[in-house]
């Protein structure tokens, strides 16, 4: 038996189920009318000659626990949360003609979504992604395609080209991986480390480097949970010894940890934690293309795309999710622009180590 589902069953009935049984526009139904028996009460389609399709939604999650499938097809997978998807994975235990699997059709969403993590950013074993665009759909009318081509920016990327980019309420919509993410080969005159504390949540430290111009390069990140202060001191000391680090700019909420760094001989400073001011500084550097991120800074890249404003009429407070690396970025950008850029850099250059600093 194959499962066919969507978050809400009513939405499935108006979309994929209708295409399956009634057709779409001038197109005929996928299943010929005389080839099946449809029991609407039990939501079961019995195929003449063998095979069944159980269609359902997550309106009644308890009922899903009794299903056993050889395969499941999910319509608009972006609507599901990770727990619901995990529940479905637990129902794929019947024999299948080829192999047990889940097929997901979806429009792209925010890159913070678990589907992006599981299938694109860090693909799980046995997964496969088939990318298509709206322009590939030869069933769409020409005037509709022409209208799509008129979209610009993030809307065009997501709804036409099928890219997983942040859109609704994005704090850094100007962040473009094709522009801001690349490897820079240079000699570095000065650097700082920006730190966001964490234990259960990740501790994050970003290395900022500046070469022969005003541009800033985030050359590496350390992103790890459950570190002791002794381990953190060792990690930061290694960076200070390897690079021309003049300051370690820290989340000011933990003054006792800043003091621990000072006692260890590290140049630690409390950061300016004015949130909106710092966001404005980061936005300015991204807009001017003076901020570049190394491709290996996976968590920072992900958070820059996922960081959102809280849903309210005034955009004056960011959501407290996916914010550990972007908080460190904010501390570093404020310090860099307000403190370092007002001073005179010396012209002592050293070679950056070839190994990446990323966890």
Phi/psi at 6 (5° precision): -150, 165
DSSP tag of 111: T
> Rounded mean pLDDT of 297-317?
81
> Rounded mean pLDDT of 147-175?
78
pTM of this prediction? 0.58
pLDDT score recorded for residue 170: 83
Assess contact for 143 and 279: CB atoms under 8 A. no
Residue 301 exposed, middle or buried by CB count within 10 Å (0-12, 13-18, 19+):
buried
CA torsion sign for 58, 168, 322, 211 is positive
pLDDT band for position 326 (cuts 50, 70, 90): very high
What's the pLDDT tens digit per position in 224-251? 999 999 999 999 999 999 999 999 999 9
Assess contact for 166 and 173: CB atoms under 8 A. yes
b (16+ CB within 10 A) / e for 328-356: bbbbbbbbbbeebeeeeeeeeeeebeeee
Q: Which architecture does CATH list for 177-351?
A: 2-Layer Sandwich (3.30)
Of the candidates 162, 239, 250, 171, the one whose C-alpha atom is nearest the C-alpha of residue 207 is: 239
Q: What is the DSSP string of 245-278?
A: EEEEEE-TT-HHHHHHHHHTT--EEEPP--HHHH
Distances (CA, A) of 46 to 1, 96, 193: 9, 17, 63
The reply to whether CATH 3.40.630.30 applies to domain 2-106 is no
Phi-psi label, residue 49: left if phi above 0, alpha if psi -120 to 50, beta otherwise: left
Assess contact for 265 and 211: CB atoms under 8 A. no
Q: Is the pLDDT of residue 28 over 50?
A: yes
Assess contact for 100 and 93: CB atoms under 8 A. yes
Strand partners, 358: 221
Assess contact for 221 and 206: CB atoms under 8 A. yes
What's the pLDDT tens digit per position in 327-358? 999 999 999 888 765 554 333 333 334 444 45
Query: In the chain, what are the domain boundaries?
Result: 2-106, 177-351
What's the pLDDT tens digit per position in 49-96? 999 999 999 987 777 888 999 999 999 999 999 999 999 999 998 887
């Amino acid at each position: 038996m194959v499962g066919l589902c969507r978050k809400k069953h009513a939405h499935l009935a108006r979309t994929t189920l209708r295409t399956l049984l009634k057709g779409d526009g001038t197109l005929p139904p996928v299943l010929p009318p005389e080839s099946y028996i449809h029991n609407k009460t039990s939501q079961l389609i019995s195929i003449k000659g063998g095979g069944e399709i159980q269609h359902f939604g997550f309106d009644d999650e308890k009922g899903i626990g009794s299903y056993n499938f050889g395969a499941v097809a999910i319509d608009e997978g972006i609507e599901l949360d990770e727990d619901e998807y995990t529940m479905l994975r637990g129902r794929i235990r019947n024999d299948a003609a080829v192999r047990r699997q889940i097929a997901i059709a979806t429009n792209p969403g925010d890159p913070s979504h678990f589907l992006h993590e599981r299938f694109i950013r860090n693909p799980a074993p046995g997964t496969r992604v088939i990318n298509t665009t709206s322009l590939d759909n030869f069933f769409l009318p020409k005037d509709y395609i022409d209208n799509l081509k008129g979209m610009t920016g993030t809307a065009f990327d997501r709804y036409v080209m099928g890219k997983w980019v942040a859109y609704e309420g994005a704090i850094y919509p100007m962040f473009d991986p094709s522009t801001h993410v690349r490897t820079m080969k240079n000699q570095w005159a000065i650097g700082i480390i920006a730190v966001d504390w964490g234990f259960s949540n990740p501790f994050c430290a970003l290395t900022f480097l500046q070469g022969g111009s005003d541009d800033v390069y985030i050359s590496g990140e350390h992103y790890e949970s459950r570190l002791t202060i002794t381990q953190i001191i060792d990690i930061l000391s290694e960076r200070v010894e390897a690079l021309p680090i003049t300051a370690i700019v820290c989340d000011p909420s933990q003054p006792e940890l800043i003091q621990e760094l000072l006692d260890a001989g590290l140049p630690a400073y409390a950061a300016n934690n004015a949130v909106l001011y710092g966001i404005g500084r980061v936005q300015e550097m991204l807009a001017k293309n003076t901020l570049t991120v190394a491709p290996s800074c996976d968590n920072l890249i992900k958070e820059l795309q996922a960081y959102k404003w809280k849903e309210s009429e005034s955009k004056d407070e960011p959501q407290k999710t996916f914010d550990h690396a972007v908080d460190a970025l904010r501390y570093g950008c404020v310090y860099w622009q307000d403190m370092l850029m007002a001073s005179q850099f010396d012209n002592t250059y050293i070679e950056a180590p070839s190994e990446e600093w990323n966890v």
